[in-house]
Amino acid sequence: MKQNKQKRPFRHRFANALQFMAKRRQKQPFLDKPIESVVILAKERYGDCIMLTPLIGSLRREFPELSIFIVAFNQIIFDFFSTDPNITAVYHTKKNLIRYSKEILAKKFDLLFNPKDHPSTNFLIHSRLIRARYKTGHHNPFHEGLYDHLISLDPKTHESEKNLALLNVIYCTSQPKHCKPYLPPMPVSPAITAFLQALEPGIFIGINISAGHSGGHRSSRQWSELISTYPDETFVIFSAPHELQEKKELEAEHSNILHSPSTANLYEVGKIVNKLKLLITPDTALIHVASCSNTPVIGLYRHTEADHHQFGPMSTLQEIIISPTPDVVDIESDKIAASLRNMLMQLPNIPGNTADTL
């Protein structure tokens, strides 16, 4: 947190310098002719990119011939979009610079979109370097003068809705039906394939013990207490690779945990989540993985207002539990147990999971 605060003055000064050098004239808030190409700068985390997929799917559905290019700033996001059939091509800004220079920087596109609503050095640099007839981003004082149009929304607007607001900028005769979030297809290992075949849908409860950020981790003891409170339910545990030992210890301690193989990618995780009765998870990418299959979810959030407003679940049946502190470890275990009890009572009244992956 301290490091981020130290970076802000530099980002602000850098944005000011760009604004001084390149004053871009404000244009009308929509494109006046059809587009053939769009470049989207992708955020650096899985959850952000899942929330970008409704826009990508909607663009592909509305404009089948549109060339959609993704610019990624790290390897995991490059890999994430590389298998998406809706994407024309993906580029990594720090690897294969010759390809990026020839196929992106040397050309001109119809539309560029920066989905961040705050100044980011990398995003500002590449917004400037990439040539486009029309550039758009979200309103921020440090974005003024760098884009043809800035989208103004309530700061509490959900991230997926902020992305979909780009559709209002694109000139079209009708507003397209929004695509649901989805996961691009990735390889599924033989171990996960066998596990999925034996996994009866709508029976198991998922628990994600991983933390996506500081303050997102609950103790093994807390998870163990929750599992013990529901001896008639069977659980499946998800973990990041560095928390695999904690996962194995929980599986060994409780007879009502189904032993599961380790997953190698987010798509494998999504295939398992799709078969669950519901998922309990801290505020990580799994919140949004659940949304891809409309799996009911209980989300555990830190006491940070932006988190649960902008990055909340999109599943039809959901419940958010907010910690009284910046750490989800301080959420009372009784609250989570009560939320689980309440959701289990609602399950028969909702439709089955339905994924829309285009």
Least Cα distance to 301 among 330, 344, 270 occurs for: 330
- pLDDT for 15: 56
pLDDT in tens, 291-310: 999 999 999 999 877 777 88
Which of 21-25, 163-167, 240-244 is predicted with the least confidence, judged by mean pLDDT?
Answer: 21-25
Distance CA 41, CA 44 (A): 10
- Domains 16-169 and 190-349 fall in the same CATH topology: yes
- pLDDT of 33 reads 80
The closest of 257, 278, 281 to 331, measured between CA atoms, is: 281
* Of 262, 213, 267, nearest in space to 236 by CA: 262
Domain-by-domain residue ranges, the chain?
16-169, 190-349
Q: Which residues contact 243 (CB under 8 A, 6 or more apart)?
A: 209, 210
Spatial CB neighbours of 246, under 8 Å, sequence gap ≥ 6:
209, 220, 239
Q: What is the mean pLDDT of residues 313-320?
A: 94
Please report, for residues 77, 100, 180, the alpha-carbon distance to residue 83 in angstroms, rounded to integers and kept in the order given.
11, 18, 18
Average pLDDT, the chain: 89
Asked if residues 245 and 253 have their Cβ atoms less than 8 Å apart, the reply is no
- pLDDT for 210 equals 92
What is the tens place of the pLDDT at every residue in 103-139?
999 999 999 999 999 888 899 999 999 999 999 999 9
DSSP reduced 3-state for 273: helix
Closest Cα partner for 299 from 328, 268, 258? 328
84-104 pLDDT, tens per residue?
A: 999 999 999 999 899 999 999
Mean pLDDT (whole number) for 240-249: 93
The pLDDT, as a whole number, for residue 215 is 79
- pLDDT of residue 175 exceeding 70: no
pLDDT of amino acid 300: 95
Q: Is domain 16-169 in CATH 3.40.50.2000, yes or no?
A: yes
Rounded percentage of the chain residues whose pLDDT exceeds 70: 87
Helix residue spans in the chain (DSSP H)? 2-21, 46-50, 53-62, 75-82, 97-100, 121-129, 159-164, 166-169, 190-198, 220-229, 244-253, 266-273, 285-292, 305-310, 333-346
Residue 329 CB coordination number (10 Å): 16
Q: What does the pLDDT read at residue 21?
A: 61
Tell the burial category of 126 from Cβ atoms under 10 Å away from its Cβ (0-12, 13-18, 19+): buried
Q: Does residue 172 surpass a pLDDT of 70?
A: no
The model's pTM is 0.89
* Burial environment of residue 102 by CB neighbours within 10 A (0 to 12, 13 to 18, 19 or more): exposed
Find the mean pLDDT for residues 181-193.
Answer: 97
Instruction: Scan for tokens 């147990």, then name that residue.
Output: 337
Which 8-state DSSP code applies to residue 102? I
Q: Is domain 190-349 in CATH 3.20.20.70, yes or no?
A: no
| Rg (the chain; Cα; Å) | 22
| Confidence band of 349 (pLDDT split at 50, 70, 90) | low
Amino acid of residue 13:
R
Per-residue pLDDT of 15-60, as tens digits, reads 555 554 666 556 666 777 889 999 999 999 999 999 999 999 999 9
- Using the predicted structure, report yes or no on whether residue 289 has a pLDDT greater than 50: yes
Q: Report pLDDT for 17.
A: 59
Take residue 160 and report the two structure tokens written for it: 């997926």
More reliable by pLDDT, 43 or 143: 43
Q: Dump the DSSP string for 204-216.
A: -EEEE---SSTT-
Mean pLDDT of 207-221: 87
Q: At residue 328, does pLDDT exceed 70?
A: yes
